[in-house]
Structure 1
Amino acid sequence: MIKEDSFKDVINGEEIGLYRLKNKNGLEAVFTNYGQRLVALYVPDKDGNFLDVVLGFSSLHEYTEPKGGYFGAVIGRYGNRIANGKFSLNGNEYTLVKNNGENHLHGGVTGFNDVIWKTNSIGSNAVEFSRTSPDMEEGYPGNLDVTVTYKLTDANELKIEYKATTDKATPINLTNHSFFNLKGEGVGDVLDHVLTLNSNTFTALNENQVPTGELVNVKGTPFDFTTPKEIGKEINNSHEQLTLGNGYDHNFIVDSSKKNTEGISFAARVVEPVSGRVMEVYTNEPGMQLYTSNFLDGSVVGKCGKPYLKRGAVCLETQHYPDSPNQPKFPSTILNPNDTYSSVCIYKFLVE
């Protein structure tokens, strides 16, 4: 379905193309340098049958249209919401582009998901993208040099490594916004996917879907995924936070008490019981956004020619907490000159 010619173009003098990664086990990941989007990801089921498990489109122009949204894209400079599109830093107040009501969301009107990235190196199982985000782009201070490397390992891991440096202090919170359906993209909803989260708390939202600052214990709530539970089991519960999020659209605090020597912690595990496909998530980030595609409504048709339904995918976005620049009690997201931002996300695929 994913043809090279459908992604070849030149926009503003910059070439856009398609990049395929493969490992020895037959897994394949397909990227475009337009927004660093993961266009397709083919993984096997328990019988060895491969299917594409990420939502997206079969041509570049569909990603450049409004419906392209954030499917499969890198998100920056700041993933998630910043309240009122403002923050103060070192005595200066910065005003960001508002693109989510009164909020700034996912980097603004032209975030990292809608720009063209330089392709530095290409191999059979790895690709590296880079770009300099100029000072005051979408309102952020500093010239930010960003490099993101994707590697498809022979352990069936899609490993994403983010690096960045800046010449002025600036907030940064990069993530990947892939929409996963382990049945296959466009195949119904994910309410029967069984989810486990390594998290005992989440950040509560207000009516504008930004954190109140309160950390809520998941015990006794529909947000308790500390033991395996179907995503849909309590998604329609009347809990106030589910109402505010229109479902799950919350940042969970990753329990890092058992992180490895590289600072990587287990964050999540998703099982699709019929196919036997399993995805695990690992990260060095303190949080992860669980989003259950609450705003898909069937109006967008994807690669397979099927409409993308509400709850038709699950996003597990490793990150710092939303609105951290305005929340002094949250872990800091400020990158200073002479320091290096380093973030890792690993999506590992198994069968059971």
Structure 2
Amino acid sequence: MYGDIDQYESEVPSSPATSSDNIKLLTQCCGHKGFDKKVWEATNITKGENPSITFKYHSSDGEEGYPGDVSVTATNTLTLSTIMRFDMEAVPNKPTPISLAQHIYWNLAGHNSGNVLDHSIQIRANHVTPVDQNPIPTGEIMPVKDTPLISLLRRG
């Protein structure tokens, strides 16, 4: 899990920190060793009608150049037979830029069964978040109706 941070020094003016790349305006994937490359602790496993698993990671003050300790949790829940819910939370102890994103990649044929290039997926989305040239989300919530995206998102 990771996100993209754009112009974070201007958002946290009291922080002398810069990202691990020393790039002041753009940081992707939380630096060289982002959250996606960390070992997370499985802290809660729930079985039953809505099984779930919660993972936790603690980011220490100064990790990858970011200020503050941050406790991060990610919970994956099967809410119905075909629905998976992702809940993420980050709690810092001082102002710091945080932008969590879910980037799970699934091989629907199973582990070690080949690549995913022939897979198709249907995403029932009414809106998307466009990116700029970097590619960083612009903050706009754009409807997909009457755009070429509608056929891309709904093909299956």
TM-score, normalised relative to structure 1: 0.35
Alignment CA distance shift 1:218-1:161 (3 Å): closer
User: Structure 2: which amino acid aligns with 1:114?
Assistant: K
Is residue 2:116 matched to residue 1:205? no
Per the alignment, residue 61 of structure 2 pairs with 135
> Which one of 167, 171, 186 corresponds to residue 115 of structure 2?
186
Tell whether the 8 Å contact from 1:99 to 1:105 is kept in structure 2 after alignment. Answer: no
Q: How many angstroms does 1:271 deviate by?
A: 5.5
- C-alpha distance in structure 2 between counterparts of 1:105 and 1:156, whole Å: 31
Alignment CA distance shift 1:114-1:99 (3 Å): farther
- C-alpha distance in structure 1 between counterparts of 2:15 and 2:84, whole Å: 39
Per the alignment, residue 9 of structure 2 pairs with 87
Q: Which structure has the greater CA radius of gyration?
A: 1
User: Structure 2: which amino acid aligns with 1:82?
Assistant: D
Q: Secondary structure of 2:17's match?
A: strand
Is residue 2:27 matched to residue 1:98? no
- C-alpha distance in structure 2 between counterparts of 1:151 and 1:90, whole Å: 37
Tell whether the 8 Å contact from 1:181 to 1:189 is kept in structure 2 after alignment. Answer: no
User: Structure 2: which amino acid aligns with 1:116?
Assistant: V
Alignment CA distance shift 1:95-1:128 (3 Å): same
Is residue 2:31 matched to residue 1:108? yes
User: Structure 1: which amino acid aligns with 2:54?
Assistant: E
Q: C-alpha offsets along residues 56-87 of structure 1, whole Å, 9 cap, x if unaligned?
A: xxxxxxxxxxxxxxxxxx22xxx13535xx52
Unaligned stretches of 5+ in structure 1? 1-73, 232-268, 273-352
Q: How many angstroms does 1:121 deviate by?
A: 2.3
Q: How many angstroms does 1:123 deviate by?
A: 3.5
Q: How many angstroms does 1:120 deviate by?
A: 1.6
Alignment CA distance shift 1:103-1:189 (3 Å): farther
Q: How many angstroms does 1:93 deviate by?
A: 4.8
Per the alignment, residue 72 of structure 2 pairs with 146
- C-alpha distance in structure 2 between counterparts of 1:202 and 1:131, whole Å: 27
Q: How many angstroms does 1:112 deviate by?
A: 0.9
Q: Secondary structure of 1:169's match?
A: coil
Q: C-alpha offsets along residues 145-200 of structure 1, whole Å, 9 cap, x if unaligned?
A: 1222222234432222222322101121212211246677625435x65554211x
Q: C-alpha offsets along residues 66-117 of structure 1, whole Å, 9 cap, x if unaligned?
A: xxxxxxxx22xxx13535xx522144453112399x8421111111111112
Q: C-alpha offsets along residues 202-247 of structure 1, whole Å, 9 cap, x if unaligned?
A: 43513x334567777766653x42xxx1x3xxxxxxxxxxxxxxxx
Alignment CA distance shift 1:197-1:126 (3 Å): closer
Alignment CA distance shift 1:155-1:187 (3 Å): closer
Is residue 2:94 matched to residue 1:168? yes
User: Structure 2: which amino acid aligns with 1:153?
Assistant: T
- C-alpha distance in structure 2 between counterparts of 1:178 and 1:127, whole Å: 15
- C-alpha distance in structure 2 between counterparts of 1:217 and 1:183, whole Å: 32
Q: C-alpha offsets along residues 250-274 of structure 1, whole Å, 9 cap, x if unaligned?
A: xxxxxxxxxxxxxxxxxxx7563xx
Tell whether the 8 Å contact from 2:129 to 2:138 is kept in structure 1 after alignment. Answer: no
Normalized per residue, which structure has more strand?
Answer: 1
Alignment CA distance shift 1:113-1:195 (3 Å): closer
TM-score, normalised relative to structure 2: 0.70
Alignment CA distance shift 1:99-1:113 (3 Å): farther
> Which one of 60, 82, 103 corresponds to residue 177 of structure 1?
103
- C-alpha distance in structure 2 between counterparts of 1:118 and 1:156, whole Å: 26
Instruction: Map 1:45-84; keep pairs closer than 5 Å.
Output: 74-75=1-2, 79-82=3-6
Give the fraction of aligned pairs with identical amino acids, expressed as a percent: 30
Alignment CA distance shift 1:179-1:209 (3 Å): same
